[in-house]
Amino acid sequence: MPSTKLSGRSWNPTGSWSTPKLPAAPPSFTTPGTLYIQSTGLLPQYRGQGLGHRIKAWQIEYAKQNAFRPIVTNYRETNSPMISINNKFGFQPIRTTPAYYEDGEATVVMELLLG
């Protein structure tokens, strides 16, 4: 799903623009060759159809074909479906950033090291 960005802001599923705060960068984020996935989202009517799994598979394949080694991504702490998809692909949680979102919710930062 292509992201919609304007002046550093992202369109979120609630139908509004948001400007996420950047978490403190883990070492792999500052390393050349890291793919950082800032936002993957599906509108409610498209959830539960396997699209999140297919998008994640495409992102991983893209990273492999373009010589990225680590992939770093983050999700709301309550987004258990996407966290579960990441776990199935082998992503490991590397930290939680409290109060990452404007509503005070934490984000879970996950990493996959490609071989």
- Domain containing 108: what range? 21-113
Q: How far apart are CA 85 and CA 87, in angstroms?
A: 5
Q: How far apart are CA 52 and CA 58, in angstroms?
A: 10
Compute CA 65 distance to the chain's CA centroid, rounded to the nearest angstrom: 19
Whether pTM > 0.75 for this model: the answer is no
Q: Looking up tokens 């990493």, which residue turns up?
A: 111
pLDDT of residue 13: 53
pLDDT digits (tens), the chain, 115 positions: 444 444 444 445 555 555 555 445 554 445 678 999 987 788 999 999 999 999 999 999 999 999 999 999 999 999 999 999 999 999 999 999 999 999 999 999 999 999 8
Q: How many domains does the chain have?
A: 1
Q: What is each CA distance from 14 to 24, 30, 42, 66, 87, in whole angstroms?
A: 26, 31, 11, 32, 25
Q: What is the CATH number of the domain that holds 73?
A: 3.40.630.30
Kindly compute the dihedral angle of the four CA atoms of residues 6, 8, 13, 17, in this order, to the nearest 10 degrees: -70
- Whether 1 is in a domain gets the answer no
